[in-house]
Structure 1
Amino acid sequence: MRLPWLNPLLLLSTVATVVFPAAAEHVLRSTSLAACQENSGFTASLFDVVFTPDNLTASINMIATSSIEGYVVFDITILAYGYQIVKTTVNPCTSNLPGMCPMTSGKMNNPFNLPVEKDALKSIPGIAYTFPDLDATVRVYINKTVNGVSSPDSIACLEADVSNGKTVDLLGVKWATFAVIALALLSSAIVSGLGFTNAASHIAANTLSLLAYFQGQAMLGLCAIPLPPVAASWTQDFQWTMGIIRVGFMQTILTWYQRSTGGTATNIFDTLHYVSVQVEKVKRSLPALDAAVGIVKRSASSVAKHGLAKRSYLQTSFGSYIVYGIQRVSFKARIETTNLFLTGITFFYFLCLFTAIAVIAAKFICDLAAKGGLIKGDAFSEFRLGWLTTLKGILFRIALVCFPPVTVLCLWEFTQVDSPGAVVVAVFFFFGVLATLSYAAYKVIRIARRSVTLHKNPAYILFSDPGTLNKWGFLYVQFRASAYYFIVPMIIYTLIKGMFVALAQRSGTVQAVALIIIEAGALIMVSVLRPYMDKSTNSFNIAICAINFVNAIFLFIFTDVFGLPGLVIGVVGVVLWIMNAAFALILLLMIIITTSIILFHNNPDTRYQFMNDDRTSFMKSNNNITTASQLDALAATARGVGKEAAYDIEDDESARSSPANLGAPHRPGTSGSGGNNSNRYSLKSVRDSARNSVRSSVYGAPVHNLHNQNSGSMRAPSPFANGAAASGSDRSLNVPPQTQNKTSAASPWQRGAGYD
């Protein structure tokens, strides 16, 4: 059955009614006036017009310079989304415009109110007051009159963008998306701590993919491509994922840091009462406007006059400023451009600090709760025993999540050089995070290759060792075991994309073409390789890559290299907003519903099928990790080795030279140290019996029965049963021949590890 709210028009109307109440006062406003032809006889450094239809009054505050003298007429054109809706001619003498009949040269800086007739309201559609981020423009050509006849050539051209005060850049959207991401990641950590690793890995993988999609939306807004107002505002909703969040007192501190380290901080927001700032938008077939853009230049004298840092803003010949790309995002977030880099880096630093404090606090709270009997003694046992390794893994994951903003902001800072101190911070964070992730990826590949060499399966060591899983698992748990390497293409993808966004701010067309190629490559790679853990996760990420590719095509359309009609570009901007809003809503609902079901499910792991790489067979039971650790210690004692025999599972040389791997078991009838081997077999028989008892309690059935039920066939004994290449959690489990004869079926801990 087709539900009525699925109708896009009804949905759009409903959103407009809820978000923008009808009781709100209707208003149309313009805050900048741009010249749209060279040698314009009328320019304005400040232009602020507010029209309220309820009282039929337009309040005008303007600082302008006019070189026009004599009688003139105004040719006025109003465009909405590139489509001409009004075209009229106004004679200032018959309209009683003060000081304009005739016009005189000089400066105009006196605010005044202009009455508007009721007949003029009929030409303004009602949707102009309610539709968010209205893309409307008023263009005025000033023509001289000779004997009451208008000259065909204009002596001035003015253009003003009109807004109704409604926008999709809403604080509620920012908080809602942040809350969903944060709660989903927290739920994943809790579920993992309770031992449901399969469910936890699915939640974390989908949540991080959603966060990556939000960062992709933010990068669209950071590109130096003129965007329609609704597209620019939509991308602004996700700039929090790049650390672009305004906090008043922090901006004061960062400004002080800029100045104290040899930089000059901008103060553009303090100059808005006498200087206009134009947000660059799509040019719609205006040859005169293209000529006016050629006027844009950097004015060092005006920069010094207004106290603005050099290299910060483009300035027109008549004193107003133009912001685009990263500067546009900074201006809309009300953050000074020279503070933008440090703002993002500061939030990254505080995120790491807060996470470390939270993990340490969680460890002590769990310990106190266990001692007080509030939770079971073995609850969160793996986290409580290996909390330091877990903290390292979490910090590595934060570095991976924050790599896109660090890349974009640091590389952009290299082009701005706001201060020597800021450049030092950029060098430290960019190369530090890049080196950290590169080292982590190298370690994962090294461990996986060793696992393939020893066990014919990369999943064995990657998932059997809790230390490796907790420390490096953030790089590979979302992928199938055979695609452990896919983190490298992800890092390269993020790095190249960030380089084009940050370093190509001078050419939006170059950015658009580069993003099409990058996103197309990512879509093809994910669709062909399907590297993620299961079918649903692959579909989730393929859909995200497809949307990112479509968005890149939209960006290329916004560059207007094809000279498309203005209406087409305006419609594409609205389509980009609606498409991404619907897609983001679907993904958010999926995360919310899935996480809610898992939190209230008795055994959430059963909601997902086990991965084909059989990773769960290699994971130690979280509920019995203490017992397993004790059994490992017992085995080491039986072999007559101590701490000196322990080795790092991430070290190739120590793995090969470990006594546990070099010593072959003694067999009856062969020469050897009989006393030691006799003790060894005796104690190992106890250990094997205890471990089988533990596994039986975990799986609810004897080991050999459970394995026969699951596999349905007998598996060949392990080629590494003699201990020559034992590794992972069972590296010391060298079973003598008489024990092997008693249990003909292989242990489920060996399934999928190359034993069949």
Structure 2
Amino acid sequence: MQLSTSRLGGCILFILFHLVHAEQLIEANGLTACHGADNSEITINHLSAVLTPGNNSVSLVFDGYSGVAGDVVLDIDLLVYGYKALSHQIDPCSLDLNVFCPMKAIELQIPKFTYSFNKGVLSQIPGIAYTVPDIDAVVRVNLNKKSGGSVACLETRLQNGKSVYQAGVSWTLAVIAGLGLIASTVLSLLGHSNTATHLAFRSLAFLGFIQSQAMGGLIAVEIPPMAQSWIQNTVWSMGIVKAEALQTISTWFQRATGGTPSSVLSESNTVSVVLQKRSSIQAQAMQSGSQIVLRGIKRAGARASITLSNIFMTGYLFYYFVTALVLVCVGIALAVRFALSKRTTSITKLEKAVGATADWKTVLRNTFFRLACIGYPQMCVLCLWELTQKDSAAEIVLAITMWLVTTGVLAFAAFKIFQRAIRSKQQHNTPAYTLYSDPATLSKWGILYIYYRAPVYWFLVPALVYIVVKGMVVAFGQSNGIAQSIVLLILELAMMLATGIIKPFMSKGANVFAIIATVLNSLNAIFFLVFSNVFNQPTLMTGILGVLYFIFNAVFTLALLIYLLVGMVYAVFSKTPDAKYRPLADDRDSFRWSRTVGTTELDHLEKVARGEDAEAHPNFPAAHTAPPSDEDVSMAARRPYNDVVDPSLPLFPTSYDGGRRRS
């Protein structure tokens, strides 16, 4: 059933009406010291405050310790994107609290307190403070003595209950990326290799940009609220996923192996958990009394409601869950393909056997290679970061083993590719001959180089080195956000220059999207450097850049999403999807083995040029000859080269049996 335009418009108006008329509020959790302020006489354990303009009041719960004695006044400033929107002074003696008039050097505990403002005070707050998602608003409280002199300066970040971080967005990005990879696999099984190659590139470009945003957002710098919430929509690509089953298994495993689970989130009612702090000298987790400031990877884990000591194990188990899911899909696809081949009557039984009974060991090995390539950014971040956390001895062993295995697998694959390419260049004057004509090379290592132009197959090495170095910067630099942002900027600029100058990818469109992605990654690195407060810029500038970060990345993510969806729709509904894509300029297709038995002079000429059946066909037939005989078809079926593996990103080869390859 189609949704009419009027109904769709009505739904949108209903949603907007509901949002506009929702109760307006501003809330805060936790107090931190102002930048450069000395608050040695004030200790804050917990703060929770909610301001409701509907009744001109604010309710709060407070727990802390004061070493100040005497009469004081509170100067309260509301800063929205660095702009002072409200200033108000409160005399504690006007409050119905004896501990504030005069203030005593004792432990301060306020179970719940409501303060009503005078009429017209809250009207000074601009409307955007209640409507803009992830508003960058801060309340700054200056505690001053009536006799003169400042005692302390505290500030807290406000929230209005609206955010660009939505679970539905994360699920949408993940599902579409997965569907793109599955669609490319199905197309490869149907024989549309060119379309499958391009669709796989679009899927990996989309997934790679999401992973790049997530990795950048895990560095230990203060990130404005809107940018931080957008990044939270992408951290699932790093395995930071909230799932009760994963949490239960992770906690059990840690306790069983001698570790102690973190209790930060479970004690959030009595401990202030602050996700960011406007200071460049604080460590990743600063503890003051019962207040903890989380930054970097722990900040992302806390926002996803993951126990801090379970972040590594959650990502580790998530990777294995995805691996198991892919293997199940591969098994189902092979079973369906085998069943369909038994019903086909246009080919001989021998050809059915060769085409449908692919070597399962080869299939699984190739699948693991591809999963290692896709999950390598996640492993570089979480496994190396675990070495600094030491949640338990067993988890350290798992982290080291996983990183070494994935790195070793990809390094070995790169070595094999270079070995075959160098040999092909020596024998045939081009690396493309062996890289695209040898089914074994394509099925095993094609995932790493198929998207590059044949002459620059070697670009896979800079790409892998880029991921390793970026993962190390994120994992090992959590104690120094400024150093992280500087190194990240240098790395992103180097990758942008290399991609823009070399243009390594297979087509003009692929290079355009890749170059735009690297430019945006470099721009993000500049944003992170500014967010680290290394330039001591005004607060308003930081807030504006946070909004620009969200806009730029959301727009390009949407562009990549449309780019992927258009390719998927065209591939699914077009009868001849390969006709859309032109042959690639590196002539890779001229080196691939034919899928059918040659019936023209050009087909036999192609075989002779490749050295196949040169003696069996000394005389070329006419351009239009009779159909091939049953003997020819049987001979073709016995040659595994006739049904070449599709290198597009199949999660498994189409019908090549590596164990039966002729020498």
Following the alignment from structure 2 to structure 1, what is the Cα–Cα distance between the partners of residues 97 and 243? 44
| Structural mapping, 1:177-576, within 5 Å | 177-283=173-279, 313-316=285-288, 318-372=289-343, 385=358, 388-576=361-549
One-letter code aligned to 1:703: E
Q: 1:327–1:337: 8 Å Cα contact kept in structure 2?
A: yes
Q: Which residue of 2 aligns with 1:107?
A: 107
C-alpha distance in structure 1 between counterparts of 2:257 and 2:315, whole Å: 18
Deviations 1:575-603 (A, max 9, x none): 00111111111110111112101211111
Structure 1: how far apart are the matches of 2:18 and 2:66? Answer: 39
Q: Which of 1 and 2 has greater Rg?
A: 1
What is the deviation of 1:382?
A: 5.1
TM, length-normalised to structure 2: 0.86
How far apart are residue 23 of structure 1 and its match? 3.1
CA separation of 1:420 and 1:507: change in aligned 2, threshold 3 A? same
Q: Which of 689, 695, 703 does residue 601 from structure 2 map onto?
A: 703
Q: Secondary structure, in 3 states, of the residue corresponding to 1:431?
A: helix
The alpha-carbon deviation at position 367 of structure 1 amounts to 1.7
Q: Which of 24, 27, 32 is residue 26 of structure 1 equivalent to?
A: 24
* Corresponding residue for residue 735 of structure 1: 615
Q: How far is the alpha carbon of 1:79 from its aligned partner? A: 1.0
| Count of residues in correspondence between the two structures | 608
| Residue-by-residue CA offset, 1:430-489 (whole Å, 9 max, x unaligned) | 000000000011111112222222222222222223332122110111011112211111
Separation of aligned partners in 1, 2:31 and 2:202: 46
* Offset of residue 121 of structure 1: 1.9
Cα distance in 2 for residues equivalent to 1:176 and 1:490: 27
Task: Report how far residue 392 of structure 1 moved.
Answer: 2.5
Contact in 2 for aligned 1:228/1:281 (Cα 8 Å): no
**Alpha-carbon distance in 1 for matches of 2:291, 2:14:** 33
Letter in 2 for 1:198: N
Cα distance, 1:256–1:199 mapped onto 2, change above 3 Å: same
Gaps of at least 5 residues in structure 2 are 1-11, 624-641, 643-663
**Equivalent residues of 1:193, 1:382 under 8 A apart:** no
Relative contact order, CA 8 A, sep 6+: which one is greater? 2
Deviation at 1:99, TM superposition (A): 4.4
- 2:566 counterpart residue number: 593
The code of the aligned residue for 1:169 comes to: Y
Distance, in Å, in 2 between the alignment partners of 1:379 and 1:583 is 45
In structure 2, distance between residues paired with 1:64 and 1:85: 28
CA contact (8 A) 1:143 1:155 kept: yes
SS at match of 2:435: helix
**Would the alpha carbon gap of residues 376 and 547 (structure 1) be closer, same or farther in structure 2, given more than 3 Å must change?**
farther
Q: Deviations over 1:532-558 (max 9, x none)?
A: 111111111111111001111111111
Counterparts of 2:293 and 2:345, CA distance in 1: 60
Change (3 A) 1:506 1:364: same
Q: Tell me what 1:52 maps to.
A: 52
Q: Distance in 2 between matches of 1:247 and 1:360?
A: 26
Q: 1:72 Cα deviation (Å)?
A: 1.8
The Cα shift of 1:257 comes to: 1.0
**Which is further off, 394-403 or 422-431?**
394-403
The one-letter amino acid of 2:414's match is: A
What is the CA distance between 1:98 and its match in structure 2? Answer: 6.1
What is the distance in 2 between the residues matched to 1:599 and 1:742? 37
Deviations 1:174-214 (A, max 9, x none): 01111110111111111111111111001111211111110
Q: Distance in 1 between matches of 2:542 and 2:345?
A: 61
Question: In the aligned structure 2, how far is the partner of 1:233 from the partner of 1:554?
Answer: 15
The residue type paired with residue 57 of structure 1 is S
**Counterpart-to-counterpart distance in 1, 2:113 and 2:291:** 21
Question: In structure 1, what is the equivalent of residue 43 of structure 2?
Answer: 43
Amino acid at match of 1:542: I
Secondary structure of 2:93's counterpart equals: coil
Percent sequence identity over aligned pairs: 36
Secondary structure in 2 matching 1:191? helix
CA distance in 1, matches of 2:246, 2:345: 40
The answer for the alignment partner of 2:627 in structure 1 is: none
For 1:702-737, what per-residue CA distance to the aligned partner results, in whole angstroms no more than 9, with x for missing partners? 334x89xxxxxxxxx99x96xxxx9xxx54423379
Distance 1:225 1:337 in 2: 18
Corresponding letter in the other structure for 1:162: L
Distance of 1:387 and 1:130 partners within structure 2: 56
SS state at 2:19 partner: coil
Which amino acid in 1 is paired with 2:63? I
Deviations 1:390-434 (A, max 9, x none): 442232111011111101111111111111100110111000000
Q: Alpha carbons of 1:235 and 1:376: their partners in 2 closer, same or farther (altered >3 Å)?
A: farther
Preserved contact between residue 16 and residue 130 of structure 1 (Cα < 8 Å): no
Describe the SS at the equivalent of 1:142: strand
